[in-house]
Structure 1
Amino acid sequence: MVTRLRRHIDRHPRLVEAAFLLLIYAATSNQYRRVGDDTLWWPGFALAAVTCTSLLARRRRPAAVVVLTTLGTAVAGAQGSTFGPLLLLPVIVALYELTLQASQQTIRTYGLLVAVILVPTALRWDSEDEPWANEAVSLAFWILLPILHGLAVRARRAYMDTVRTRAEDAERTRYEEAQRRVTEERVRIARELHDVVAHHMALANAQAGTAAHLFSTHPAQTDRILTELTGATTAALRELEATVGLLRQPETAEESLTPAPGLDRLPDLVAAFAAAALHITTAVEGPVKPLSAGVDLTAFRIVQEALTNVAKHAAVNTAHVHLAYAQEQLTITVSNDSSPITPPRAPGGGFGLISMRERAQSAGGRFRAGRRPEGGFAVTAELPISA
């Protein structure tokens, strides 16, 4: 019932406003009787019509409406009408609307103005035999009531606005956080795809080139290299399928049980590059310590990408991998000697160093790369043992 009535009110606001003002007019005009007899003060009906009609402008000009209704009520009281709540209805409504809109100073000023006009009028012309103190207190109560209620409604609205603003901010923050996570995930997947594709394609290219070079002179060795090339491409397809498969998993799907590659696969990586005629020396300094899964994957991908860059961009057949374990840090250095010739620039490059730097920083480490003073190129990554 209440919901239906509220829906009807929302659909017909002007009709509700008209009914509201007619009720106020009926209640107010009925008070224009002289105290002590049943004689009606007929001009009071016109005065009531003016004061009630002025309430239509209470939202646009609340201060002017307060003054007009107060003066009309004072005139009615001066003609002998009783200063009760029904006679004061237009003033109460006008003061309530003023409280909702005006500043604190304006509310105090007009509240005091209403009291200054109505209290002396009531004490001077109200002919009921009531003590003046009771009369003043009663009138002050009806003046303060709409002001206090308006302040309470205003505070409630401000509180609800604050709650709504906080909810909108929280929703916007959640959306921005979701967007940030989506962007980070896209970068992670792009980096993983780049590392997988770049490594295996560079390795396959090197193996194919070596096989073409040895085809006429060493057919047996060529056959072995082509067999290993098949294995390299198969591994590339398998890793690509596993990486792209992450995009198709539902949000509630469990993570793949296939372990991520780590430094324990470094011998397999060295053997794969050896098949492409790239000789790799490895050295480990310090006691080997277990790494967290994220750091282990980062270390392997950095070594893999660094060796891929050597195979693609350096005209040498030797590279060096150095792993130095300290108390809280693993330092990875991948270097190659200088080449007597300048190799042609490989097409499609440019993201290898960026990928390695992003991986090192995402694991909480540091990365640097550059030419060595003695010749050649070196990349160094410093990673925390556990992250």
Structure 2
Amino acid sequence: MLVLLVALAATAVTDAGWSWPRPGAVGWVALACLPLVFRSRAPFAVAAVVVATELVAELVAKNTTMIPGASLVAVYTVASLRPRRTAWLTGSVVAVIIAVCGLRVSGETAVSVQALVRFDVLILVTAVGDAVRSRRAQLAAAERRAVRAEQTREEEARRRVTEERIRIARELHDVVAHHVALVNAQAGVAQYLVRTDAEKAYRALGDIKETSHAALEELRSTVGLLRQPDDAPPSLTPVPDLDDLDSLVESFRRAGMTVEVTRTGDRRPLASAAGLAAYRIVQEALTNTHKHAGTATASVTLAYGTEMLEITVADDGSGTAPPGLGTGHGLIGMHERAAAFGGTLTAGPCPQGGFRVHAELPFPSRPKDNR
């Protein structure tokens, strides 16, 4: 502001030639520059006060050589802070007013050099202010887009991490709950038989060995998902699906539970991930039956329809098991597995006793034959 005041004061001379600035003209210049301190807070009001002050100064001092510098700064501020239409309207009005007032004071024609210079300089300042405002808006928009893009990437990364964590937790729960329940049952059988039938006890211990080996393989395969790219490769154990249902059922039978399997309809394959989900649903349902109903008789029904596979696992409620409270993670996991593939799952007590789990998983859509 001080530099502008000194520069404008140097122009406050008489028309007769170079001389020291007149004190009155310098005072008017200072008075016109003073409102510029508040130009960012109230650009319109400051522009109006500055233009009015310079016009009055020109009429009083009769100095047509003085440059309207304060008006230039005020107009630039309006153009750089306000919308384009408002900026150009303000700049044009101020340019016309100052040019016409200069002509009235000097008595020159409308096409005089001085009038054209004043008009053109104010229009140029308006254009510069508008360009600065546009550039500032572009930079702000680019920064906002960058921030939104970064936030979107972070949210997507967090979402994927959460989904992967839930999926791995679900896998670990199913694997651990199933195999530990079987090992516990087989260990109980071996403990009972070790004094009465050594041969059967030996076979029970073999079943424990096989079950624990299968648990370790599945755990190794699941934990392998957490490895980094430069770690050793995970286990190559195939992902289980409904083709492995007989082996699953046999493991429960060896643990002392009666399981009946029924298949109806024409067998159709599910997608790989959906097959794993179906296998885990049956596995978790049978594990819950063994955990809460002990040696109850369970039935597994696979009904292959035209559009979806219906899975029903139920028990007659005749078995007994030590009382205990479950965490509910198994049922939550079964619901999530079914929902992940557009299916549904219901679970609850049967009217005649026992517990029933019913899931529906859609088959992959077949491509239409356009022949």
TM-score normalised to structure 2 length? 0.84
2:173 to 180, 194, 206: 194
> Following superposition of structure 1 onto structure 2, how do residues 80-119 of structure 1 map, counting pairs within 5 Å?
80-82=62-64, 87-101=67-81, 114=94, 118-119=98-99
Asked if 1:303 corresponds to 2:279, the answer is no
Q: What residue in structure 2 maps to residue 367 of structure 1?
A: 345
> Would the alpha carbon gap of residues 41 and 240 (structure 1) be closer, same or farther in structure 2, given more than 3 Å must change?
closer
Query: d(CA) in 2 for partners of 1:311 and 1:362?
Result: 26
Out of 21, 30, 34, the residue aligned to residue 14 of structure 2 is 34
Number of the residue aligned with 1:379:
357
Q: Which ranges in structure 2 are unaligned for 5 or more consecutive residues? A: 366-371
1:69 aligns with 2:50: yes
Q: Is 1:234 matched up with 2:216?
A: no
SS in 2 for 1:369: strand
In structure 2, what is the Cα distance between the partners aligned to 1:365 and 1:253?
36
Q: Secondary structure at the match of 1:241?
A: helix
> 5+ residue gaps in structure 1?
1-17
AA at the equivalent of 2:73: V
Q: Counterpart of 1:368 in structure 2: which amino acid?
A: T
Distance in 1 (alpha carbons) for counterparts of 2:74 and 2:291: 84
* Equivalent residue in structure 1 for 2:134, among 155, 173, 177: 155
What's the offset of the Cα at 1:53? Answer: 5.0
Q: Identify the residue that residue 292 of structure 1 maps to in structure 2.
A: 271
Deviation at 1:60, TM superposition (A): 4.0
1:224 corresponds, among 199, 203, 208, to 203
Q: CA RMSD in A?
A: 3.1
1:47 equivalent in structure 2: 28
Task: State how far apart, in whole Å, the 2-side matches of 1:76 and 1:233 are.
Answer: 99
Assess, with a 3 A threshold, how the Cα gap between structure 1 residues 266 and 110 changes in structure 2: closer, same or farther.
closer
- Fraction of identical pairs, as percent: 43
Gap change, CA 1:162 and 1:38, over 3 Å in 2? closer
- Alignment of structure 1 residues 223-302 onto 2, 5 Å: 223-250=202-229, 257-302=236-281
User: Number of paired residues?
Assistant: 362
The one-character-per-residue Cα deviations of 1:342-384 (angstroms, maximum 9, x if unpaired) are 5432454532222111111112211112233444322111112
Decide whether aligned partners of structure 1 residues 346 and 37 sit closer, same or farther in structure 2, where only a CA change above 3 A counts: closer
Q: Does 1:171 align with 2:183?
A: no
Q: Does 1:121 align with 2:101?
A: yes
Between stretches 320-329 and 111-120, larger displacement belongs to 111-120
Amino acid at match of 2:307: E
Q: 1:203 to 1:36 in 2, by over 3 A?
A: same
Contact 1:305–1:352 (CA<8 Å) still a contact in 2? yes
What amino acid is aligned across from residue 125 of structure 1 in structure 2?
Answer: V
- Give the Å deviation of 1:193: 0.7
1:154-195 CA-to-partner distances (Å, cap 9, x unmatched) read 233233323322322222222122111111111111111110
> Match for 2:332: what amino acid?
I
CA contact (8 A) 2:96 2:119 kept: no
Deviation larger for 348-357 or 144-153: 144-153
What's the CA shift for 1:58?
2.9
Hey, what's the Cα distance between the residues in 1 that align with 2:248 and 2:63? Answer: 104
Aligned to 1:334: 313
Output the CA distance in 2 between the equivalents of 1:54 and 1:231. Answer: 90
Quote how far apart the aligned CAs of 1:26 are: 4.7
- Where 1:333 maps in the other structure, the secondary structure is strand
What letter is aligned with 2:305?
Answer: A
Name 2:335's counterpart in structure 1.
Answer: 357
Contact persistence 1:367–1:379 (CA under 8 A):
yes
